[in-house]
Chains A and B, each alone.
Chain A
Amino acid sequence: MKDKILRIVSEILGSDVNENLTMADFEKWDSLKTLQIIMALDEEGISIPLEKIAKVKSVKDLIIFAEEGE
């Protein structure tokens, strides 16, 4: 699942990312991008709990929250 998340985030941000990347590190990663990422993950069967979406600040958050959503 982690690899899938890294691939999707990389595609949406248009740049190779690793799990240490945070929103603060990447200027183009705004809340709209987060929603795009969540939607793309959802389409691939990876679910982020609804209450956690606003708390996403990094790739690591996405991985942790996705594991909670399993």
Chain B
Amino acid sequence: MSGYNIAKIKGVRIAGLSACVPSHVVENMIEGSQLFGDDIEAVVKTTGVEKRRTCPEGKITSLDLCIRAAETLRETNHFDFSQIGGIVCVTQTPDLILPNNATYAQQLLNIPQSTAAFDINLACSGYLYGLWIAGMASLSLDKPILLLDGDTHSHFVSTKDRSTAILFGDAGTATIIEPADDKTGWSFSFITDGSKRDALMIPEGGFRNRINEFSSLYREYSDGGVRRGIDMKMDGMGVFNFVVRNVPKSLEYLMDQTQKTIEDFDILALHQANLFMVRQVAKKIKFPLEKVPTSLQKFGNSSSATIPVTLASELENRVNKEKLRILASGFGAGLSVASASFELGPCVCTGVTEYEC
């Protein structure tokens, strides 16, 4: 097997993990019935998304959710935020185009001005990229790094577009990565195919296609979707095709290169795109489904945040007490895949808290 790169880091650990979701619950069987009619039950069954958490646009942002998750970790009194050496924020829904979220997080969390702080613009592969970068930064600075990862994709989804309408929820997470006497190490592999960027994109609102007087108008497109230029467009089958051709190979390559097999892992943590995709990827690499946690039934697809949300939501009790060997993969817009092998726990995990809204 060849064709991918492997990145390795040794000497860091995850010391804390926390997730935060809006308190507002969207029931897809109710909210989706107008768009899908009698098909809604089957659509919910196929996607697996029964409920989603969303926050009001313009009032609560992914940064708010991430900050709350970080504050929850600080309130455990296990972490001294004055010792944090860097803030990495993974998001595609920042408060502002300029400046970024990470620099504002420094002020909001009262982290010393000596901190390094920057954002990473990635979607569903973002958390594992964040772990990689934060791990390297922690080694380089010899200090803990605060990795914030959150998105509010519900804010640019058209309620009239069957391909995206009921999938997306909002969430923010915080992970603390610190230097440690770790001999196992983390491993990562990546796949990037920019030729397929049209499969998942927001066409307007960037600097290629600026917002114009038509950007907020709903239009019907040839794929049958009714949406605005500032809404997400998704070729679901195109993304699915990319995922099934690349994610299993990426995971198998990672195991091959690190001389590990499925038996060497306790958990397969996959991006929560939809239930069908998660199960198909697990089945393809013959990973037992009972070791593949899912949280999209409760929270929906929160883009880059689904992996830490799932770990915090479904494994909180175990992560607090025991060491879990995790195989993970995030995949989506780009199109982009990041896969990783790492250990999690025992460490501070505060599960999922709610942001009142």
Contacts and interface: CB of A to CB of B under 8 A. Distances in A.
Contacts of A21: none
Interface in A29-47: 30-32, 34-36, 38-39
A50 interface: yes
Interface string A41-70: 000000000110110000000000000000
A30 B223 CA distance: 10
Interface stretch (B205-213, B237-245, B312-320): B237-245
B197 interface: no
Contact of A34 (B224, B237, B280, B283): B237
A53 B46 contact: no
Nearest to A38: B276
B43 A51 contact: no
Contacts of B224: 30
A35 B46 contact: yes
A60 B241 CA distance: 20
A36 to B, nearest CB: 5
B74 interface: no
B236 interface: yes
Nearest to B281: A50
B240 A32 contact: no
Given A31-B236, A32-B162, A32-B236, A54 B241 contact: yes
Given A30-B162, A31-B237, A53 B43 contact: no
B42 interface: yes
Interface residues of B, number: 19
B284 interface: yes
Contacts of A39: 45-46, 276
Given A31-B236, A32-B236, A39-B276, A50 B244 contact: yes
Contacts of B237: 31, 34, 54
Nearest to B241: A54
Contacts of A36: 42-43, 45-46
Contacts of B248: 50
B85 to A, nearest CB: 43
B28 to A, nearest CB: 13
A38 B45 CA distance: 12
Contacts of A54: 237-238, 240-241, 244
Contacts of A51: 244-245
A50 B241 CA distance: 9
Nearest to B276: A35
Name the residue among A31, A32, A34, A53 with the largest chain B CB count within 10 angstroms. A32
B46 A32 contact: yes
Nearest to B284: A50
27 contacts: A12-B42, A30-B162, A30-B224, A31-B236, A31-B237, A32-B43, A32-B46, A32-B163, A34-B237, A35-B276, A36-B42, A36-B43, A36-B45, A39-B45, A39-B46, A39-B276, A50-B248, A50-B280, A50-B283, A50-B284, A51-B244, A51-B245, A53-B240, A53-B241, A53-B280, A54-B241, A54-B244
Closest 5 CB pairs of A and B: A54-B241, A31-B237, A50-B244, A35-B46, A54-B237
